[in-house]
Homo-oligomer: A and B are copies of this chain.
Amino acid sequence: MSVNFWIGDDYLKVSIVGATGYGGLELIRLLQNHPHLEIASLHTSSRFGRQIHEDSPHLLHMEYTLEEIVPEDIAKKADIVFLATPSGISVQLAPEFFKLGVKVIDLSGDLRLKNPGNYERWYKHSAAPSEILQEAVYGLSEWNASRIKHAKIIANPGCYPTATLLGLAPLYTEKWATGKDVIVDAKSGVSGAGKSPSAGTHYSEINENFKIYKVHTHQHIPEIEQQLGLWNEESQPISFSTHLVPMTRGIMATMYVKLHRHTSTEELIDLYNTVYENHPFVRVQPMDAFPCTKQVFGSNFCDIGIAFDERTNKATIVSVIDNLMKGAAGQAVQNANIMLGAEESAGLLNIPLYP
């Protein structure tokens, strides 16, 4: 039985490192109205001294001065620190906060892979120290809550892995999937590429265009396979590809899965409904309905559609999330809620913005 020792009269204090990026800004939005968490400070590597709204006019009238990243100072103000930084930074910051006794929720990919060599092969950076990697708990909220609750470091999942793993989990954990020949064809809006301008995210190059990128080389592949392997020892490498959709937010993963047995769409939907019964953020679609990304826009939901294909004897699983929410800041706050013993959905149960 867990003790919710953190919730009392006061808000818990949190700091955000990397506050001016898309992940950081989304955290600010979520924390502003959170019933238990309060922003203690916002940090950035280069713009400190400026007001947050100067570069982010949607925050006009919000008064926060951006501060330098000094872990010792942050430790005095914050109970939890969110690291919303590019890969390569948390490798260095996470150990410092760990030593200082500040809980860390890391939105980057730095702490997700248990095997340092694996990290270095896919990320092309030096990995974090092994003890930090071992300490880090993979923050797939629906599947790891008992460990998240007592974690000191959370490795918040990537956007593609969240959509993919929530979609595949019932088939893998219940051993319906053979674990062979799984195809994940994933599509993402452009905000997943972050806020820094580049040729690949220049408006005129993306608009009225559909691209495939990082074919067979995306760094989220080992993250997905690591978790699939934990669920099912027989799982083999997946085919995984990533595409850029001319929109800002949203991810869809379309998945083609070979099963151990012949089944039906009804049976599959039943399975998913059972597995996700007590998980408010996973919404299994009814028969013949398939989700679109817009139906989760601005929310923490992961909507899943399911069909069994009689002709090919495979299941088609379609999973959608908002990449900045369930795929980043939303799940990070969900994990913070779990850590502090609050309702998992505290501050997160808004209706998606539609249209």
Contact = CB atoms under 8 A, between A and B. Distances in A.
A76 interface: no
Contacts of A353: 29, 298, 353
Contact of A292 (B190, B198, B212, B314): B212
Contacts of A258: 181
Interface in A290-328: 290-299, 301, 303, 305, 307, 309, 311-312, 314, 316, 318, 320
Interface in A183-197: 183, 185, 187, 189-191, 193, 195-197
Nearest to A247: B208
Interface stretch (A51-59, A81-89, A136-144, A153-161): A51-59
A254 interface: yes
Interface stretch (A112-120, A234-242, A332-340): A234-242
Contacts of A237: 311-312
Contacts of A261: none
A208 B294 CA distance: 7
A245 interface: yes
A88 B59 CA distance: 37
Given A203-B207, A246-B245, A215 B296 contact: no
A6 interface: no
7 contacts: A25-B354, A205-B294, A207-B355, A212-B318, A215-B305, A239-B312, A248-B355
Contacts of A246: 203, 207, 245-247
Interface of A: 22, 25, 28-29, 32-33, 56-62, 181, 183, 185, 187, 189-191, 193, 195-199, 201-213, 215-216, 236-239, 241, 243, 245-250, 252, 254, 256, 258, 283, 285, 289-299, 301, 303, 305, 307, 309, 311-312, 314, 316, 318, 320, 349-355
Contacts of A197: 197-199, 201-202
Contacts of A61: 283
Contacts of A351: 28-29, 32, 58-59, 62
